[in-house]
């Protein structure tokens, strides 16, 4: 018997099958096209295995309240064709097994807590800075959510005094995601993040905004670790700029761990989400 996992992204779905010790025995990537086509290809992969459970970490927003009709659905998403799709329900129809269902970033936070940069801790936040900004939270060993899952990428931030850019968020314009996700770098400079020089002034702004978010998360949730992932964080110099800004903005208020231990890169590069989904899938069998 095997455990299956899906890290469902807007671009691709990473699928894995592992044995009960969670050693991955098969893995594939399926492009996220239409729901029908994508589901057919997911079935084409998982049908080969006798699964005991499946863990799914999905792009969102998603319905997570089992008491509501939209449980298991992908809700209003910019990904064309996927709004109000009963993703979990379609999987459940195919496989009558226990499922775990959460957001991609929650799954990544869980993976990092159990086997990655926060191993041995009982709380962490995983923040991804990519096409969008999203965070997953684990507190006291459990994924943290209320009526819905948190949307910590859309918090308000104080503007950098030199920043006149209006922001990319279709809802709020200049929320954190609007001012600091990958597309904002390109919108300000005309150059994609990956091609920008290390000394471009925009990185200071970027660090200023991300650090503000980390200060807010620290003051509200006091996690043991904050783990940073996502395409934009491939800029190695950015981590130090964020740490410096964080220390400056905290201004000595509230004791927090040594910053180089506290704000870190992912411990499971490109794998936090799929490993977290496997772990959650396995727990769903218990």
Whichever of 27 and 234 has its CB closer to ligand ADP, that residue is 234
Q: Which residues have a Cβ under 8 Å from the Cβ of 167 and sit 6 or more positions away?
A: 173, 174, 175, 178, 179, 184
**Binding status of residue 172 toward Zn ion by CB under 5 A:** yes
Token pair belonging to 57? 């970490």
Pairing mode, strands 2-8 and 142-143: unpaired
Residue 12 interacts, among Zn ion, ligand ADP, none and using kind-specific CB cut-offs from 5 to 8 Å, with none
- Polymer length of the chain: 286
Whichever of 129 and 215 has its CB closer to ligand ADP, that residue is 129
The helix or strand, by DSSP H or E, that contains position 126, with its residue range, turns out to be strand 124-129
Whichever of 173 and 192 has its CB closer to ligand ADP, that residue is 192
CB of 215 to Zn ion, least distance (A): 18
Token pair belonging to 60? 């969102």
28 in the Ramachandran plot: left (φ > 0), alpha (ψ -120 to 50) or beta? beta
Residue 248 — φ and ψ, nearest 5°? -60, -45
Whichever of 2 and 266 has its CB closer to ligand ADP, that residue is 266
Site for ligand ADP in 148-187 (CB under 6 A): 182-183
**Binding status of residue 232 toward ligand ADP by CB under 6 A:** yes
Residue 193 interacts, among Zn ion, ligand ADP, none and using kind-specific CB cut-offs from 5 to 8 Å, with ligand ADP
Q: How far is CA 170 from CA 20, 77, 78, 177, 258, in A?
A: 43, 11, 10, 10, 36
Which residue has the CB atom at the shortest distance from ligand ADP? 182
**H-only helix segments in the chain:** 35-46, 87-94, 104-115, 176-180, 182-189, 202-221, 236-250, 259-262, 272-284
5 alpha carbon, distance to own chain's centre: 15
Query: Using the rule CB under 6 A, which residue among 231, 239, 244, 285 binds ligand ADP?
Result: 231
> Which span sits near ligand ADP by CB under 6 A: 69-77, 113-121, 165-173, 189-197?
189-197
CB of 235 to ligand ADP, least distance (A): 5
Token pair belonging to 39? 């589901």
Whichever of 123 and 206 has its CB closer to ligand ADP, that residue is 206
Query: Using the rule CB under 5 A, which residue among 12, 41, 92, 154 binds Zn ion?
Result: 154
Residue 277 interacts, among Zn ion, ligand ADP, none and using kind-specific CB cut-offs from 5 to 8 Å, with none
> Which span sits near ligand ADP by CB under 6 A: 69-77, 192-200, 240-248, 278-286?
192-200
Q: What angle do CA 124, 130, 133 make, to 5 degrees?
A: 55
| Site of interaction with Zn ion (CB under 5 A) | 154, 169, 171-172, 175, 177
| Site of interaction with ligand ADP (CB under 6 A) | 9, 11, 130-131, 182-183, 192-194, 230-232, 234-235
């Amino acid at each position: 018997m095997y455990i299956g996992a899906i890290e469902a992204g807007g671009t691709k779905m990473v699928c894995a099958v592992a044995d009960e010790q969670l050693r991955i025995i098969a893995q594939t990537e399926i492009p996220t096209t239409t729901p029908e086509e994508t589901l057919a290809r997911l079935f084409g992969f998982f049908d080969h295995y006798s699964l005991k459970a499946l863990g799914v970490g999905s792009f969102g927003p998603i319905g997570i309240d089992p008491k509501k009709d939209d449980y298991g659905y992908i809700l209003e998403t910019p990904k064309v064709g996927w709004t109000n799709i009963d993703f979990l329900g379609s999987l459940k129809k195919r496989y009558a097994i226990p499922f775990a269902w959460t957001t991609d970033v929650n799954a990544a936070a869980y993976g990092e807590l159990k086997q990655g940069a926060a191993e041995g801790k009982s709380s962490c936040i995983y923040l991804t800075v990519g096409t969008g900004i999203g965070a997953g939270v684990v507190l006291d060993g459990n994924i943290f959510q209320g009526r819905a899952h948190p949307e910590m990428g859309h918090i308000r931030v104080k503007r950098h005094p030199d920043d006149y850019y209006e922001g990319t968020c279709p809802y709020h314009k200049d929320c954190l995601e609007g001012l600091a996700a990958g597309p904002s770098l390109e919108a300000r400079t005309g150059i994609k993040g990956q091609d920008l020089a290390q000394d471009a002034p925009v990185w200071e702004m970027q660090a200023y905004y991300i650090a503000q978010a980390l200060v807010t998360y620290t003051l509200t949730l006091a996690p043991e670790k904050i783990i940073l992932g996502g395409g934009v964080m491939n800029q190695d110099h950015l981590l130090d700029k964020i740490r410096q800004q964080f220390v400056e903005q905290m201004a000595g208020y509230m004791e927090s761990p040594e910053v180089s231990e506290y704000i870190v890169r992912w411990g499971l590069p490109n794998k936090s989400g799929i490993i977290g989904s496997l772990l959650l899938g396995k727990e769903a069998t218990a």
